[in-house]
Homo-oligomer: A and B are copies of this chain.
Amino acid sequence: MKAGDISKLGYALLGLLQQQPSSGYALRKIFSSTAMTTYSDSPGAIYPALQRLEQQGLIRGSIEESSGLRRRQMFRLTPHGLAALKKWINRPLVRADVIRGLDEVMLRFAFSQQAVGATGAVNLLKSLLVELTSYIPELREQLTANKEAMPTSGRLALESGLRSYECLLDWTKYALATYVRQKKMRQERKGATAS
A127: Cβ under 8 A from any B Cβ: no
Q: Which of B154, B163, B168, B178 contacts A171 (CB 8 A)?
A: B163
A88: Cβ under 8 A from any B Cβ: no
- Closest-by-CB residue of B relative to A163 is B171
Q: Which of B100, B111, B121, B153 contacts A110 (CB 8 A)?
A: B153
Q: Which size class do A's interface residues fall under?
A: 35 or more
A160: Cβ under 8 A from any B Cβ: yes
- Give the shortest distance, in Å, between A103 (CB) and chain B (any CB): 9
A112: Cβ under 8 A from any B Cβ: yes
Annotate A120-162 by CB proximity to B: 1 below 8 A, 0 otherwise: 0100000000000000000100110010000111101111110
Q: How far is it, in angstroms, between the C-alpha of A100 and the C-alpha of B170 when the chains are bound?
A: 23
Assembly stoichiometry (copies): 2
Q: How far is it, in angstroms, between the C-alpha of A100 and the C-alpha of B32 when the chains are bound?
A: 12
- Give the shortest distance, in Å, between A121 (CB) and chain B (any CB): 5
List A residues at the B interface (Cβ < 8 Å). 34-35, 37-38, 99-100, 106-107, 109-114, 118, 121, 139, 142-143, 146, 151-154, 156-161, 163-164, 167-168, 170-171, 175, 178-179, 182
What 5 additional pairs, Cβ within 8 angstroms, besides A109-B157, A113-B153?
A109-B156, A111-B153, A113-B151, A160-B168, A164-B168
